[in-house]
């Protein structure tokens, strides 16, 4: 690997001039590309079109419930079983409700804040400034949801195996205002890392070690089934660990079928112990007579016994896009050593770290060349990346050809910004 720093300033300037020309040519192409959207492409959605006719006029659930009528806040048994399969828990610990795990996360955080999750006196809002730990980079909607309910976010570093548990421990041990931690344990958004067994075990112990007696591990297992290769990677299930540690009342898990069937027209799951489910059901009873059980029945019938087979069909469509991202980054950036990136084995994102201070400039250049990137900072609470270096790449929605063109532009922008940064640093340090 040559590396940028081994080049002379003259070499750097020649390379910069060449790349600037490439950039102008690219800009003249007037493309309009987008790597911002973590959403499935139409060919992925079409994999679930047979679901529309799977009921074939029969609306009775396994327990005899007419799915077309009111009631059943916890959802149909077969839908809860599907959630249990996704979340690796007992079906009795699952509520299937709504079309979105985000809505259920909002319910859990709101309930923890105002009403308490355990039917006792504990409420997060009894503390002046309740906080949640945010492993960064992370999922922007976790952050905005929390902040919208008055919960502050505290950054903790993310490693390739999950949150830096020593940093986490240091924070939660001494500070009772820290009420929980957001986790995307498999194919984390955006780095794509999978939490190691050690990290899962450490997280299961965490509620016992936290100063707060109402600490909650928020386990957003959004990509649990979203491997690129099958059989998939095994994430250590957290609930048996938490049962063993007697912390199970302090672990709440989430999943949905949004990126399995239809995004938005799927079904959402929350899993917790009976004590917590009872409290959540109590709250739901004030604003819901029951979820859309017809859609639950569709999903259960469509996916029962063939979840992996279905997800393998998704993988066949999106893995090539991730391979194109990896190839472009490796071929374009590895030699110069100007960026780090992740190579996930599933999920929806690649995380790219530029040299510090350059992410905003890269996004600005990309936009000028017709490529939209997720706004730098979006992967950090309050939109603030302290090092201004993280970019999230979401290649699923674009076509493979568009991903290739987009990545060519992105690589060009990273190189150009890095070269210019290096040149200006050298000039500054050479100045009298």
Chain residues that interact with its own copies, rule: CB under 8 A: 37, 39-40, 42, 45, 48-49, 52-53, 55, 57, 59, 66-72, 98-100, 102-103, 105-107, 141, 144-145, 148-149, 258, 262-265, 283, 285-295
Closer by beta carbon to its own copies, 109 or else 204: 109
- Give 26: exposed, middle or buried? Use CB within 10 Å, 0-12, 13-18, 19+: buried
- β-bridge mates for residue 289, sequence order: none
Closer by beta carbon to its own copies, 49 or else 234: 49
**297: how many CB neighbours lie within 10 A of its CB?**
24
Closest CA to 156 of 123, 110, 203, 108: 203
* Least distance between its own copies and beta carbon 31 (Å): 21
Closer by beta carbon to its own copies, 45 or else 167: 45
Task: Tell the residue number behind the tokens 């050593």, with chain if given.
Answer: 337
Closer by beta carbon to its own copies, 231 or else 264: 264
Please give the Cα distance from 339 to 418 (Å, whole number). 9
* Least distance between its own copies and beta carbon 379 (Å): 17
Order of all β-strands in the sheet with 268-271: 94-96, 268-271, 251-256, 216-220, 178-183, 131-136, 152-159, 162-163
* Least distance between its own copies and beta carbon 363 (Å): 22
Closer by beta carbon to its own copies, 396 or else 418: 396
Closer by beta carbon to its own copies, 113 or else 333: 113
* Least distance between its own copies and beta carbon 260 (Å): 12
Cβ partners under 8 Å of residue 197, min gap 6: 236
- Give 242: exposed, middle or buried? Use CB within 10 Å, 0-12, 13-18, 19+: buried
Closer by beta carbon to its own copies, 392 or else 408: 392
Please give the Cα distance from 313 to 317 (Å, whole number). 7
* Least distance between its own copies and beta carbon 282 (Å): 9
Closer by beta carbon to its own copies, 60 or else 62: 60
* Least distance between its own copies and beta carbon 81 (Å): 19
Please give the Cα distance from 119 to 276 (Å, whole number). 8
* Least distance between its own copies and beta carbon 158 (Å): 23
Computed on alpha carbons and rounded to an integer, the radius of gyration of the chain in Å comes to: 23
Please give the Cα distance from 194 to 98 (Å, whole number). 27
Closer by beta carbon to its own copies, 303 or else 362: 303
| Residue-wise DSSP of 125-148 | GGSSS-EEEEEES--HHHHHHHHH
- β-bridge mates for residue 217, sequence order: 181, 251
Closest CA to 57 of 68, 41, 73: 68
Closer by beta carbon to its own copies, 155 or else 296: 296
With residue 178 as reference, give the H or E element that holds it: strand 178-183
* Least distance between its own copies and beta carbon 293 (Å): 6
Give how far the C-alpha of residue 399 lies from the chain's centroid of Cα atoms, to the nearest Å: 21
Could you report how far apart the first and last alpha carbons of the chain are, in Å? 32
Closer by beta carbon to its own copies, 77 or else 421: 77
Which parts of 47-154 fold into alpha helices (H)?
77-87, 101-114, 140-148
* Whether 112 contacts 214, CB under 8 Å: yes
* Least distance between its own copies and beta carbon 192 (Å): 20
* Whether 411 contacts 404, CB under 8 Å: no
* Least distance between its own copies and beta carbon 352 (Å): 23
Residue 131 tokens read as: 């906080």
* Least distance between its own copies and beta carbon 276 (Å): 18
């Amino acid at each position: 690997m040559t590396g940028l720093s081994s080049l002379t300033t003259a070499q750097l300037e020649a390379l910069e001039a060449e790349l600037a020309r490439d950039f102008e040519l690219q800009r003249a192409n007037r493309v309009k590309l987008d790597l911002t959207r973590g959403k499935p492409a139409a060919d992925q959605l079409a994999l679930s079109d047979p679901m529309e006719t799977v009921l074939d006029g029969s609306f009775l659930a396994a327990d005899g419930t007419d799915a077309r009528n009111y009631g059943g806040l916890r959802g149909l048994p077969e839908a809860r079983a599907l959630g249990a399969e996704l979340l690796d828990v007992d079906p009795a610990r699952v509520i299937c409700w709504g079309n979105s795990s985000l809505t259920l996360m909002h319910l859990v955080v709101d309930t923890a804040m105002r009403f308490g999750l355990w039917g006792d006196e504990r409420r997060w809002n009894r503390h002046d400034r309740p906080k949640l730990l945010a492993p960064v980079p992370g999922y922007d909607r976790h952050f905005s949801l929390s902040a919208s309910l008055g919960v502050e976010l505290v950054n903790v570093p993310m490693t390739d195996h999950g949150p830096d548990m020593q940093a986490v421990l240091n924070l939660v041990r001494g500070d009772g205002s820290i009420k929980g931690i957001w986790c995307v344990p498999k194919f984390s958004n955006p780095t794509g890392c999978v939490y190691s067994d050690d990290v899962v075990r450490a997280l299961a112990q965490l509620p016992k070690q936290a100063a707060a007696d109402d600490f909650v591990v928020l386990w957003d297992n959004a990509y649990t089934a979203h491997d690129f290769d099958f059989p998939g990677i095994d994430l250590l299930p957290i609930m048996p660990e938490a049962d063993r540690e007697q912390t199970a009342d302090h672990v709440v898990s989430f999943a949905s079928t949004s990126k399995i069937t239809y995004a938005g027209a799927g079904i959402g799951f929350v899993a917790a112990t009976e004590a917590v489910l009872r409290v959540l059901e109590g709250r739901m009873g004030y604003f819901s007579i029951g979820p859309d059980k017809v859609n639950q029945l569709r999903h259960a019938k469509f996916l029962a016994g063939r979840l992996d087979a279905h997800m393998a069909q998704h993988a066949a469509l999106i893995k090539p896009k991730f391979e194109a991202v990896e190839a472009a980054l490796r071929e374009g950036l590895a030699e110069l050593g100007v960026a780090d990136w992740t190579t996930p084995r599933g999920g929806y994102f690649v995380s790219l770290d530029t040299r510090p201070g350059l992410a905003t400039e890269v996004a600005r250049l990309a936009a000028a060349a017709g490529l939209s990137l997720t706004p730098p900072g979006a992967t950090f609470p309050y939109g603030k990346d302290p090092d201004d270096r993280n970019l999230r790449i979401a290649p699923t929605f674009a076509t493979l050809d568009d991903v290739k063109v987009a990545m060519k532009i992105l690589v060009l922008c990273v190189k150009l910004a890095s070269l210019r940064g290096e040149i200006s640093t050298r000039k500054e340090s050479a100045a009298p």
